[in-house]
Structures are given as structure tokens and as C-alpha cells.
Amino acid sequence: MDFTPNPADEAFRQEVRSFLQANLPADIARHGKRDSHSARADIERVMKMLNSRGWSAPHWPKENGGTDWSPRQKFIYLEEMRRARVPVLDRTAIDLVGPVICHFANDAQKQHFLPQILNGDCFWGQGFSEPNSGSDLASLTTSARREGDHYIVNGQKIWTSEAQRADWIFALVRTDPAAKPQRGISFLLIDLRSPGVEVRPIWSIDEVLTLNETFFDNVKVPVENLVGEENMGWTYAKKLLQFERTSSAEIPHIKRDVIQLKHLAATTMRRGRPLAEYPPFAKRIAELEIKVMALEWSVLRVLHAEEGDPSLNAVASVLKVRGSELFSDVSDLAAMAMGAHGTAVIPDTEGPHNMRPELDAPPVTDPEAVGAPQRAMFRKAATIYGGANEVQRNIIAKGVLGL
């Protein structure tokens, strides 16, 4: 496989870069430095900007509003989005439920939900994990009992990212308690404004609200919100988790973060010299970059591999493990480069919208530093979400090493 950039790909990169330069509002690009925890109002504006060009979800099938770009072009697009500091969009909608709707939903569901997602009018949460079902997801107990043309949903989900700003949640629910665990699960789309739904906040270590508990108390959900067949939800969820693990390699993010790390190391003085000139620190940056480059090539190999290749699931786990570690390492180094400032949550003068207001922290003059310590704190979770790394290692042991 030859991944050397060719003139057509470079022309494509310039096209994406020029579009973003011309259209991304400056205030939104500044907010994009925060990396995650984007404000809904910013995402709505960005999605409309992208949708006007047909670029909201390039990886979806073309007939559903995606593109026919090559895997390499889709990757370049993501790199340019990060480089321009487009805020992290509603990945739950674009990367998780969107592809499931494209592949498994009926025409009415596609026509209803896909245009709203593409235009940034409908935000989503992912209702898989429960207090006693995380890695062992098939043990989930949130139930959906059929009553006429509705399901009655009862139970609790946890760690529902961004549910506090979402309109809908896609949930795995048990529709056949008598069947084997994986066989009795269905994939349901639930309006979060339905009576009986309650979303409660969980504040994370970086003092920002993105995590939630979601409770369902006799929530009536129309049967027309079932995706695919009843009791077949596990099949759709497995496909979705594969999308999640490939994208969780996070290469475009990490590459952007390396640029920021180098900036912080070059501008931070230690005993009269930039930190970047200290051999031990320079060595750590170089080691990180080598690992990032190796992972990038692995991601490109997977993106070019044939769909349906059974070994892909295990390889996606390799990417998830390595990517989540580097995602955390790069932000740790950035926080380290900031010295004492790297240990504190730094208030952001322009937000974020959902940050605890009473914070008291030392001032930082370099705008590049804003958000870096929070990232280092929050990204410890990267080895957990999308499937804990220990569990991914089990999949690798079985699927790649044949143990």
C-alpha cells in the first residue's frame, strides 16, 4: 500500500484548507482550542457551514448525505478540521448513531433523522453503559416492554456523554428477558424530552460537565423508533463499536496537539533556555512523534482494508489501545511543559459554557495554554471510554494473536 501523498490528494487538502480559512468564524476557532466540550451553539453554526458544502459527514454513504471521497481524503479532511481548530462536533451523532441509521434504519427513520444531524439541528447521547454493565454490556437490564404501539422503558444509563445538551438518546434496551443475553436486546431511539426521562449531571475531574446519568421511569417510546428488528440490537451495536474504536485512534487530534506541545515547549523558559532545548524533554517529544507516525500508518492501513474483513475488529482494538495512550501522553507532556500552571484548571475567558463558574486559578498569558491542563486530566478517561483497554487487549489476544 502506497501512502505517499499524490498531487490529487494535496489539491484536495488545499481545497479543504481554503474552505475552512474562508468560512470558519474566528470566535469559533478560538473556542476550538479547548478541544472537547464544545458549546452547542458553536457546533450548530459549524454544522450549517459544513452542510452548505455537503461536508457534514463525509464518511456516510453518499446516498445518505455523505461523500464518495477515498479513505485517504476522508482522513485529510479530519486532519484539516483539527488543524483549523474546528470545535469537536457531535461525534455521537455523526460517528455513532448516524452510521447505524444509514445502515440499519428504515426509510422513514432515515428521512426524519439524517437531515437534522447533517444540519446540526439534532444532538445525541449514547445510552449503552449502565451502573452494573460496562465492559460486560450484554448484561444490561434497562427494559422496554411492548404495550400496543409503544414500548415502556424503565432503567438507568450512566456516563452518557453530552446528554445535558442532547435532544435524543439511542439506547440498548432489553426486550426479551428470557433470551440469551445478546439475543434479547433492541436498539431504540428515545426523545429526551419524553415524560419520565431525567438527566442528572456528573462533574468530571476537569470541572466541566459532559457526563451524565440518564433515568427512565415508565417512558413511552413509539414502536416506530425501533431501529431494525426487535431483539437484534446487539448486531447493530457491535458494528457501531467498531466505528467508535477506529475513530478513537484520534490521530488528527494528536497531530494537532503535538504542534501545540512544541509551541508550549518553545515558549516556556527554564533557567533562561526554552524547554524544547533540554535534551530529555526534546527526546520525549521525538519519541511521541515517532509513535504517532507509526499509528497513523496503521490507521491508514485499516481504512484501506476491505470492509467485512473479520480481522478488522481486533485490529480496531489495537488502534484504540495505542491511540488512547498517545492521546493521554501528548496532553500530559503539554501540561508538564506548563510547569506549575499545568496542574491547575485554568478558567477560559470565553467559556466553556458548561464549566463550574466558581473556579479560582492562576492567570495564564499564552492562549495556547488555555485548556491544556484540563485536557491532561480528562484524557485519562480515553483508556476507558469506547471500551476499556484491558478488554481491548483480550480481543487482541484472541483475534490477532490467536491465544
Ligand X SMILES: Cc1cc2nc3c(=O)[nH]c(=O)nc-3n(C[C@H](O)[C@H](O)[C@H](O)COP(=O)(O)OP(=O)(O)OC[C@H]3O[C@@H](n4cnc5c(N)ncnc54)[C@H](O)[C@@H]3O)c2cc1C
Query: Is the separation of the CB atoms in 212 and 183 below 8 Å?
Result: no
Scan for cell 468530571, then name that residue.
Answer: 204
For residue 352, whether the previous peptide bond is cis, meaning omega lies within 30 degrees of 0, is: yes
Q: Least separation, in Å, of the C-beta of 102 and ligand X?
A: 20
Q: Least separation, in Å, of the C-beta of 123 and ligand X?
A: 12
What does the DSSP 8-state code read for residue 84?
T
Q: Identify which of residues 109 and 161 has a Cβ nearer to ligand X in the complex.
A: 161
Q: Identify which of residues 60 and 159 has a Cβ nearer to ligand X in the complex.
A: 159
Q: Identify which of residues 76 and 100 has a Cβ nearer to ligand X in the complex.
A: 100
Q: Identify which of residues 65 and 387 has a Cβ nearer to ligand X in the complex.
A: 387
Q: Identify which of residues 80 and 207 has a Cβ nearer to ligand X in the complex.
A: 207
142 exposed, middle or buried (CB, 10 Å; 0-12, 13-18, 19+)? buried
Query: Is the separation of the CB atoms in 151 and 140 below 8 Å?
Result: no
CA-nearest of 232, 233, 238 to 314 is 238
Contact set with ligand X (CB under 6 A): 126-129, 134-135, 159-161, 211, 381, 384-385, 387-388, 390-391, 394
Q: Identify which of residues 16 and 158 has a Cβ nearer to ligand X in the complex.
A: 158
Q: Least separation, in Å, of the C-beta of 18 and ligand X?
A: 34
Query: Is the separation of the CB atoms in 109 and 187 below 8 Å?
Result: no
> Quick count: other Cβ atoms within 10 Å of Cβ 89?
21
The amino acid at residue 96 is: L
Q: Least separation, in Å, of the C-beta of 186 and ligand X?
A: 15
Scan for cell 490529487, then name that residue.
Answer: 8
Q: Least separation, in Å, of the C-beta of 398 and ligand X?
A: 11
Residue nearest to ligand X (CB): 134
The secondary structure element, H or E, covering residue 109 is helix 107-118
Q: Least separation, in Å, of the C-beta of 222 and ligand X?
A: 22
Q: Rounded to an integer, what is the distance from CA 165 to the centroid of its chain? A: 15
Query: Is the separation of the CB atoms in 271 and 305 below 8 Å?
Result: no
The span from the CA of 22 to the CA of 364, in Å, is: 30
Q: Identify which of residues 126 and 268 has a Cβ nearer to ligand X in the complex.
A: 126
The secondary structure element, H or E, covering residue 273 is strand 273-274
Q: Least separation, in Å, of the C-beta of 385 and ligand X?
A: 4
Q: Least separation, in Å, of the C-beta of 143 and ligand X?
A: 16
> Quick count: other Cβ atoms within 10 Å of Cβ 172?
26
Indicate left, alpha or beta for 154 from its phi (over 0: left) and psi (-120 to 50: alpha): beta
Q: Identify which of residues 69 and 385 has a Cβ nearer to ligand X in the complex.
A: 385
C-alpha cell at 202: 456528573
